[in-house]
């Protein structure tokens, strides 16, 4: 199956450098409402994370354990689904590539995908193609929401979830 349809968003040139840019490293590369930071005294005491130096978010220069995204990123780091973009940066407001998405889904499936070098995503890509999750094209290109939704849906189908069978609409 193919997950690329020729739309203006995926015809843009594929990025060749995934190193953090000054925009990626800016702690506010996107709109953050004034109430995005949580007051320490309002954090529920029943959570295991103290949101201090023991929190996995504290290992990244561009993450704040008191921001609204804490629980989601903490989960992804703890479950080893994501590990940042390198050099102690996570890039919370950065773009996601197709290679990143394939790697995250492979990790969710329990596949060992750790790789080194220019094609760090190769094991995740190979798994995604073999399982029919992705066609494996443009791994360094940014993923659109529709492409990611398609990959997640195909992954869910492999787990026995989602719609089953074929769909058709009769035209009268």
Do 80 and 106 touch, CB atoms closer than 8 A?
A: no
Which residues are within 8 A (CB) of 68 and not within 5 positions of it... i.e. 6 or more apart? 36, 37, 38
Does residue 39 carry a pLDDT above 80? no
Show the tokens assigned to 61: 């220069």
User: What pLDDT does 117 receive?
Assistant: 77
Does residue 15 carry a pLDDT above 50? no
| Section 72-95 average pLDDT | 94
Does residue 132 carry a pLDDT above 80? yes
User: What pLDDT does 23 receive?
Assistant: 46
Other CB atoms within 10 Å distance of the CB of residue 16:
7
Phi, psi (5° rounding) for residue 56? -60, -25
Which residues are within 8 A (CB) of 18 and not within 5 positions of it... i.e. 6 or more apart? 85, 97, 140
Which residues are within 8 A (CB) of 88 and not within 5 positions of it... i.e. 6 or more apart? 59, 60, 61
User: What pLDDT does 168 receive?
Assistant: 55
Phi, psi (5° rounding) for residue 67? -85, 160
Does residue 146 carry a pLDDT above 60? yes
């Amino acid at each position: 199956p193919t997950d690329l349809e020729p739309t203006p968003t995926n015809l843009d040139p594929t990025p060749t450098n995934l190193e953090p840019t000054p925009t990626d490293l800016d702690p506010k590369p996107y709109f953050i409402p004034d109430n995005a930071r949580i007051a320490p005294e309002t954090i529920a005491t029943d959570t295991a994370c103290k949101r201090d130096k023991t929190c996995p978010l504290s290992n990244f220069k561009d993450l704040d354990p008191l921001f609204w995204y804490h629980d989601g990123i903490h989960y992804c780091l703890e479950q080893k689904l994501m590990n940042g973009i390198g050099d102690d940066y996570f890039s919370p407001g950065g773009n996601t590539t197709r290679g990143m998405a394939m790697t995250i889904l492979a990790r969710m499936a329990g596949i060992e995908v750790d790789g080194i070098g220019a094609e760090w995503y190769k094991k995740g890509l190979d798994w995604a193609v073999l399982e029919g999750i992705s066609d494996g094209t443009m791994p360094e290109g940014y993923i659109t929401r529709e492409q990611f939704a398609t990959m997640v849906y195909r992954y869910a189908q492999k787990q026995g979830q989602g719609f089953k069978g074929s769909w058709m609409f009769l035209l009268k």
